[in-house]
Structure 1
Amino acid sequence: MKTCLIIDLMHESITPLLEEVGWKVDYRPTINRQEIIQSIHKYEGLIVRSKTAIDQEIIEKATKLKWIGRAGAGLDQLDVALLEEKNIAVLNAPEGNRDALGEHAITILLTLLNKVHTADREVRQAKWDREGNRGVELMGKTVGIIGYGFMGQAFARRLQGFGVQVLAYDKYKTAYGDAFAQEASLAQIFEQADILSLHVPLTDETHFMITHEFLQNFKKDIFFLNTARGKNVSLKTLSEALASGKLKGAALDVLENEKIGKLTTDQQYYFDQLINSDRVVFTPHVGGWTFESYEKINQTLVSKIKALD
């Protein structure tokens, strides 16, 4: 029987789902990198999250591997080019957590605009400040979305009913406008957006794509939402843009360095500026991380694995 190695924690449904489509499962969520290197030659399938980089060192040892499944959307921990060269199929599951991401993006955006984070904290401290927590309505605003894949589309869909204009820009698509977003150029987003939301993968092209110069292209001062990848924008850029007022506020589910106990000196300096600002809302990379998506990711992956046979 074909055997699949799983090297990260997964919803308990993964084993029976794989067995139903003819796969024997070796579930080893505590396996370390060296153990993966020593044993990967035995497996036809591999399922990962983001704990371990699947790079040349591992891929060269994976002599029987037919496919690798990423339990989630992002592929930045995988050497996709080498996997394709080796004719190893790369599967991911953005369909599994897009709904969770769409809802979370709305949640942190509304939290930011309505100052829910500061109001909650103050009331717990017996401070009743209505004027200081006056909110900003989403209605009537223009939301610019960069990246209109599964995640960008899920966010746009959930913006319906708020009375907003949604402009979507995706460099790698054509004719992608739909009932939820108008296809737009980057120049149109620069000109019209009140809110910018990122939904791009992490690639060489998108690494630190949001710079001071990029933000200066916006005609208006904007609110910024990032539920994509932390390294799309540096802590320094975020801090300085908030200080200058170019960013009126930021809702961040991801950070440049998410090992926040091991920041560099520079990163720590700018992170401290951000955490001391009431104009920033943080969540710990949980945008697509719900009880429901945990299981739906398995169902999505297994359906794609089955389709390979």
Structure 2
Amino acid sequence: MIATSRKYIFDFDSTLTRVEALDVLAEMTLKDNPKKDEILQEIQNITNLGIDGEISFTESLERRIRLLNAHKSDLNDLITELRQKISKSIEENMDFFHSHSDDIYVISCGFKEFIDPIVEEFNIPSERVYANTFTFDGDGAIVGFDRENVLSSHNGKIQCLKDLNLEGEVQVIGDGYSDYVMREAGIADKFFAYTENVHRDKAANNADYVTPNLNEFLFVNDLPRKISYPKNRIKILLLEGVHPDALQRLSDEGFTVELLKHALPEDELIERIKGVHVLGIRSKTQVTKKVLEAADRLMVVAAFCIGTTQIDLDAAKKNGVVVFNAPYSNTRSVVELAIGQIIMLKRSIFARSTEIHKGQWFKTALNAQEVRGKNLGIVGYGNIGKQLSVLAEAIGMHVYYYDVADQLALGNATKCSTLEELLSISDVVTLHIDDNKANKNFIGKEEIAQMKDGAMLINLSRGFVVDIPALAEALKSGKVGGAAIDVYPEEPRSNGDFTTELAGLENVILTPHIGGSTEEAQRDIADFVPNKIMDYINSGNTVDAVNFPNIRLPKQKNAHRFLHIHNNVPGVMAKINELLAKYDMNITGQFLSTDPDVGYVITDLDKEYNTDIIKELKAIEHTIKFRVLY
């Protein structure tokens, strides 16, 4: 339980609030001053010199007040502004301040006139707030400060804390020099460098703990807090140059994120994956069974792309690792490229372009046709196939489609009952099928033979679905009139040399797996995938998970959430509920989803409970992973 002999000493500026109050006051009082920016910069420089101990606090205070040109009447507006500037994690954890207010003190070099009204809402009374006070002239202008107040002097916090003579362990939470010197002076037991709002190297280098938010401080001290596990302790590794927006979004959420521009081979990834909670990849990184078994804390693998063949989905599931991808985010990009390739192939644009590059001029209509009125055969009528269907029809093509699943036609598209039927009537065949291993050589010699003579083939799906030697032979013979290939059976891990049998063939467009590689698509992926990561980490949601039972959960309201992943065998659910009953847990909601391999049960419970139950839930036979959210 919580140690009753602890005392917590909080700084105010840049700790309880996100700002330095005197800087905010300066912004207000100097708003009409033509030299506003210059004076503000000077005030901030003086503030930083004082915080870092480069000049005495007394000097810092004197110089700033002279520049402020502030009045007593400005303080009400300042207080209103400061109420909007409470530090995010401080505001989230008001319960801590209310339940432990007897042990909390504010010692600040700021001023009681604006600190008292703010911390009163934290349930901290004025008598436990130690700060400076302003002096005013007869007109109410702020002209100075009470020089008798110990906090107006250099290292005044040391003397203030010494005079309090507090019993028990004393912990100081702040962001600057005047905070950590209390520990250095031996009158505080621990110093927590609070870096949520500003990171000061001197404070961090002299801290017992660097505290990115209040949740971390509360976690270290095993105190009541808003969330069960501080987000800064959740490590995310992003590989292959994932869009920087993803890094920003996840960092802003409070996670610790590392971004590498390249893929990692298996042996390196096995080493780097230790201690990582979330792995973000694109198409080149192979997340094998060995990698997953070496991952001691991994909860999520996030594919910032559509395909997931680079991930051992079964091994991930057996290790309780949820896999997300981005099945929709680059749909438009792929579709636009397909439309462009259709037109380029039908007009023999690349042949004419190559001739011009060689200095030749061959103005001709030979092998140049409009796409209007031509038959487009779409193999795979999913998200991409459907959108392509609509755009192709809009430019006058007749659309036919084939899919192993029963798909509703959009517009005037015609469903083909067999692949052979589609191949036999299509002037252009475009492939948009999934990465099921059964689709290897889906288009081979036999299928090419079923195509119309001179028809064209586009593959923007998976490299292994087309028999490349068979296609090369058909292109050389003229059976296939042209091709656009973006994906290949074997692709290099990084930029460099690449060979294919299709290189050098006329009317063949070759691109290096860039179907979804547009700035817009990468931004969309960088928005979609982090949302899935955060939904799972923060609430347990598995909607759109590739390898896991999908559960959409309501938001928690004043409750704990137990998340239990287990092998899908009889009796586990009964055992869970038996333990909940044994510990008199009041269930407010319970959600279960299973697939043939795993079960995922989420239980929402009243806030107070005996923590011994956690050990017993983890010890249930067939448990894969268990965690608590609140």
> What is the deviation of 1:225?
0.5
- Closer/same/farther in 2, CA of residues 243 and 32 from structure 1, 3 Å limit: closer
In structure 2, what residue type is equivalent to 1:284? Answer: P
> What is the deviation of 1:31?
6.6
Aligned position for 2:497: 261
Structure 2: stretches of 5+ with no match in the other structure: 1-230, 540-630
**Among residues 150, 154, 162, which one is paired with 2:395 in the alignment?**
162
**Among residues 516, 524, 530, which one is paired with 1:302 in the alignment?**
530
Asked if the contact 1:66–1:87 (Cα under 8 Å) also holds between the matched residues in 2, the reply is yes
1:127-146 to 2 correspondences below 5 Å: 127-131=360-364, 133-146=366-379
- Distance in 2 (alpha carbons) for counterparts of 1:295 and 1:239: 36
- Closer/same/farther in 2, CA of residues 49 and 144 from structure 1, 3 Å limit: same
- Distance in 1 (alpha carbons) for counterparts of 2:530 and 2:338: 27
Asked if the contact 2:381–2:407 (Cα under 8 Å) also holds between the matched residues in 1, the reply is no
Aligned position for 2:351: 118
Aligned position for 1:176: 408
Aligned position for 1:190: 423
> What is the deviation of 1:133?
4.8
- Distance in 1 (alpha carbons) for counterparts of 2:414 and 2:318: 37
Aligned position for 1:106: 339
Matched, 1:8 2:244: no
Which of the pair has more CA radius of gyration? Answer: 2
- Distance in 1 (alpha carbons) for counterparts of 2:258 and 2:321: 19
| Number of residue equivalences | 300
Asked if the contact 1:156–1:181 (Cα under 8 Å) also holds between the matched residues in 2, the reply is yes
- Distance in 2 (alpha carbons) for counterparts of 1:154 and 1:78: 27
> What is the deviation of 1:82?
1.6
Matched, 1:289 2:525: no
> What is the deviation of 1:237?
1.0
Structure 1: stretches of 5+ with no match in the other structure: none
> What is the deviation of 1:246?
2.3
Deviation digits for residues 84-143 of structure 1 (CA, Å, limit 9, x no counterpart): 232321111132211111111111221111111122222344432222655112111111
Three-state SS of the structure 2 residue aligned to 1:84 is: helix
Deviation digits for residues 167-207 of structure 1 (CA, Å, limit 9, x no counterpart): 22221x22332237333322431332121101113332111
Asked if the contact 2:242–2:281 (Cα under 8 Å) also holds between the matched residues in 1, the reply is no
Further displaced range: 66-75 or 151-160: 151-160
Matched, 1:32 2:264: yes
> What is the deviation of 1:53?
0.7
- Distance in 2 (alpha carbons) for counterparts of 1:217 and 1:14: 45
Further displaced range: 186-195 or 77-86: 186-195
- Closer/same/farther in 2, CA of residues 30 and 214 from structure 1, 3 Å limit: closer
- Distance in 2 (alpha carbons) for counterparts of 1:169 and 1:229: 17
In structure 1, what residue type is equivalent to 2:410? Answer: D
CA RMSD of aligned residues (A): 2.2
- Distance in 2 (alpha carbons) for counterparts of 1:70 and 1:31: 13
Structure 2 length-normalised TM: 0.45
- Closer/same/farther in 2, CA of residues 99 and 209 from structure 1, 3 Å limit: same
Deviation digits for residues 251-302 of structure 1 (CA, Å, limit 9, x no counterpart): 1112333348365xxxx6xx1xx33322212222111111221211111101
Structure 1 length-normalised TM: 0.88
Compare relative contact order (CA 8 Å, sep 6+) and give the higher one, 1 or 2. Answer: 1
Aligned position for 1:19: 251
Asked if the contact 2:453–2:481 (Cα under 8 Å) also holds between the matched residues in 1, the reply is no
- Closer/same/farther in 2, CA of residues 131 and 39 from structure 1, 3 Å limit: closer
Deviation digits for residues 229-252 of structure 1 (CA, Å, limit 9, x no counterpart): 222113211111113332111111
In structure 2, what residue type is equivalent to 1:261? Answer: D
Aligned position for 2:305: 72
Three-state SS of the structure 2 residue aligned to 1:275 is: coil
> What is the deviation of 1:219?
5.0
The structure 1 segments of at least 4 consecutive aligned residues displaced by more than 6 Å after TM superposition are none
Asked if the contact 1:193–1:222 (Cα under 8 Å) also holds between the matched residues in 2, the reply is yes
In structure 2, what residue type is equivalent to 1:10? Answer: V
Three-state SS of the structure 1 residue aligned to 2:330 is: helix
> What is the deviation of 1:23?
2.7
